Amino acid sequence: MDDTAAKELNGGTGSLTSVMVDVCEASGLANRYYTDPDCFEDEKRRVFFTGWSGIGFAKDVPEPGCVVPLEFLGMPLLLVRDKTGRVRVFQNTCRHRGMILIDRPTRLKGVIRCPYHSWCYGLDGALRTTPHVGGPGRNIHEAIDRDLLGLFEFRSHVWHDVVFVNVSGDAPAFEVANAALLERWSEFDQPLYHAGEDCSIRLEVATNWKLAVENYCESYHLPWIHPGLNSYSRLEDHYNIVEYGQYSGQGTLVYRPTLDPQGRRFPDFAELSEKWNKGAEYITLFPNVMLGVHRDHVYAILLEPDGPTRTIERIEIYYAAPEAIEPDFADLRRANKAQWSEIFDEDVAVCEGMQRGRHGAKFDGGKFSPVMDVPTHVFHHWVAGRLSGPPPPPPPAHGAEGATHQNTPAGVGNGQQASSFAPHDVQPRPGSA
C-alpha cells in the first residue's frame, strides 16, 4: 500500500474508508481519484492489472494469422489469432532490443518478423529464427536459447467477443472470477453476429473512466438526460442489479422500441425465457467493460482510459441471428445504431460535467441515494477496496437491500448468482472483416 492510500485509511470524509461503509453513510471517491496523474498510475497497477480487464474485441482478428496492435494503459500489446483459431495476447515488443513488432492491423501468412533485426516469432509466440545472431551467416549462438526467448504472453479470455487480460497473471480464472454474471446471462450463451460499420460506435470523452461507469450503472438520471428512452422505458420500470466485488448495473422490465414504422424487428435469440420478452439488463463488469443484453441484440462498451481526464469508448453491437446482418436488415441496423448513438451521446455532457465538477475544492465525493445509487456505490466500494489492499467484505446488509427493495422483479435481485456470454466466435457479415 502506498503512503497516500495508507493515510486515507485513517478515515474521514474523502478517505477510502468512508467509501467502504453502508451506502447510507458512505461518501464517494475523492476528487484526486479523477484528476491526479499519480492516482491514475496507482489505479493501473491495483485496479486494472490485478484482475481481468477488457482490451479489445475478437472480431478484429477474424481469421488465423490476423494480428492487431493495441495499447493498453501505455503497454504495447498484440492481439493475435493463431493457426488453431485461438485468440492470444502478447506484448508487442521483440525480445532482442525491445522494438515494436507490428504497427498496423494485418494478416500474416507466416511469422511475426521484427523490422529491426528480423528476429521471427510464430503465431504462438515462440522464437523461430535469429538471423546472423552469431555473426554473418551464423543464425545460432550458444548464449541465445530460443526456447527461453518467446514473446511475453498475457493470460487472456474471450467472452461476449470482448478480449480480457490479466496482466499480473495471478487472478482467479475468468470463469471463476465472474461466475455470477456468467450464470445470470447464461441464456445468451449463443453465437453473435456483427455487421461491420453498422455495428460500431466510437466516442472520445473528456472524463475520467470511472465517471463513465458510474453514469452507466444507474437509471436515476433517465427522466432528465434520456427523455426519449424514458418515454418507453420509464424510471419506474427499472431495477438495480448488484454483486459486490464483481459487477453492478440496472435492468428494465420494458425495452421494446419501435425501429420500423411497419413493425419489422430483428430475429431473437433462441429459447429465451419470458423475462426477456420486454426486459433488458445493463451491467458493468469491473473495471472497464459495460454490457447490455436484449432479446434480439447485445452490445459491449470497452472503456480505454487515456490518462485521468480522457476516456475512449469503443461500442460494438451484435445480433442474435445471421439474417440480422444481411442487406435486408441494413435499414434496421442503421436505425438501431442511430438510437444507441443518440443515447450514448446524451451521456457525454453529463460525464464531462462531472469531470469538471471534480475540480471543485469543496466537493467531498458526494452523497449517495440509499435507493437509487446503490449500483454506483458498489462500484466505488470495489475501486476503494482495490486501492487500499485486499478486497474488503461487503458492507452491512442494509446497503444491499436498498438496491433491490424497489422495482426489482423476482429472479433478478441483488447478489443473485449470475450468468454470461460463452466465448463463441462472432460471425461477421461476409466481406465485412
pLDDT computed for residue 219 by the predictor? 72
Cα–Cα distance, 56 to 69 (Å, whole number): 10
The CATH code of the domain at 54-159 is: 2.102.10.10
Cα–Cα distance, 227 to 215 (Å, whole number): 16
> Could you tell me the pLDDT band of residue 20, with boundaries at 50, 70 and 90?
very high
Give, in degrees to the nearest 5, the angle at Cα 173 between 81 and 72.
55
pLDDT computed for residue 419 by the predictor? 29
DSSP 8-state class, residue 140: -
**Could you tell me which residue, 257 or 189, shows the higher pLDDT?**
189
Instruction: Tell whether the model's pLDDT for residue 417 goes beyond 60.
Output: no
pLDDT digits (tens, 9 = 90+) for 361-396: 999 999 999 988 999 999 999 999 999 975 445 554
pLDDT computed for residue 229 by the predictor? 65
Determine the residue type at 81: R
pLDDT computed for residue 393 by the predictor? 54
Q: 209-217 and 330-357 are packed helices; what angle lies between their axes, rounded to 10 degrees?
A: 120
pLDDT computed for residue 160 by the predictor? 95
pLDDT computed for residue 414 by the predictor? 29
pLDDT computed for residue 390 by the predictor? 59
pLDDT computed for residue 230 by the predictor? 59
Q: Is 187 exposed, middle or buried (0-12, 13-18, 19+ CB in 10 A)?
A: middle
Cα–Cα distance, 266 to 295 (Å, whole number): 9
Verify cis geometry, omega within 30 degrees of 0, for the bond prior to 430: no
Determine the residue type at 171: A
Q: pTM of the prediction? A: 0.88
Q: Are 395 and 242 in contact (CB under 8 A)?
A: no
Mean pLDDT lowest among 221-230, 271-280, 342-351: 221-230
pLDDT computed for residue 258 by the predictor? 77
Residues whose CB is less than 8 angstroms from the CB of residue 331 and which lie 6 or more positions away in sequence, other chains included: 260
> Could you tell me the pLDDT band of residue 187, with boundaries at 50, 70 and 90?
very high
Pairing of strands 127-129, 153-159: unpaired
pLDDT computed for residue 410 by the predictor? 26
- Find the radius of gyration of the CA atoms of the chain: 23
Residues whose CB is less than 8 angstroms from the CB of residue 212 and which lie 6 or more positions away in sequence, other chains included: 205, 290, 303, 311, 313, 347, 351
pLDDT digits (tens, 9 = 90+) for 29-42: 999 999 999 999 99
pLDDT computed for residue 256 by the predictor? 76
pLDDT computed for residue 105 by the predictor? 98
> Could you tell me the pLDDT band of residue 241, with boundaries at 50, 70 and 90?
very high
Residues whose CB is less than 8 angstroms from the CB of residue 214 and which lie 6 or more positions away in sequence, other chains included: 354, 376, 379, 380
Architecture of domain 179-428: Alpha-Beta Complex (3.90)
Q: 209-217 and 374-388 are packed helices; what angle lies between their axes, rounded to 10 degrees?
A: 150
Residue 314: other Cβ atoms inside 10 A: 18
- Region 401-425: what's the mean pLDDT? 30
User: Exposure pattern of 235-271 as b/e (b: 16+ CB <10 Å)?
Assistant: bebbbbbbbbbbbbbbbbbebbeebeeeeeebbbbee
Instruction: Tell whether the model's pLDDT for residue 246 goes beyond 50.
Output: yes
**Could you tell me which residue, 1 or 137, shows the higher pLDDT?**
137
> Could you tell me the pLDDT band of residue 233, with boundaries at 50, 70 and 90?
low
**Could you tell me which residue, 303 or 407, shows the higher pLDDT?**
303
pLDDT over 70 percentage in the chain: 85
Q: Which among 222, 228, 220, 214 has a CA at the least distance from the CA of 357? A: 214
Instruction: Tell whether the model's pLDDT for residue 398 goes beyond 60.
Output: no
Pairing of strands 75-81, 127-129: unpaired
Task: Indicate the average pLDDT of the chain.
Answer: 87
pLDDT computed for residue 399 by the predictor? 35
pLDDT over 90 percentage in the chain: 78
Give the side-chain half-sphere CA count within 13 A for 123: 22
Domain residue limits, the chain: 54-159, 179-428
pLDDT computed for residue 14 by the predictor? 62
DSSP 8-state class, residue 237: G
Cα–Cα distance, 273 to 185 (Å, whole number): 11
Mean pLDDT lowest among 85-99, 127-141, 221-235: 221-235
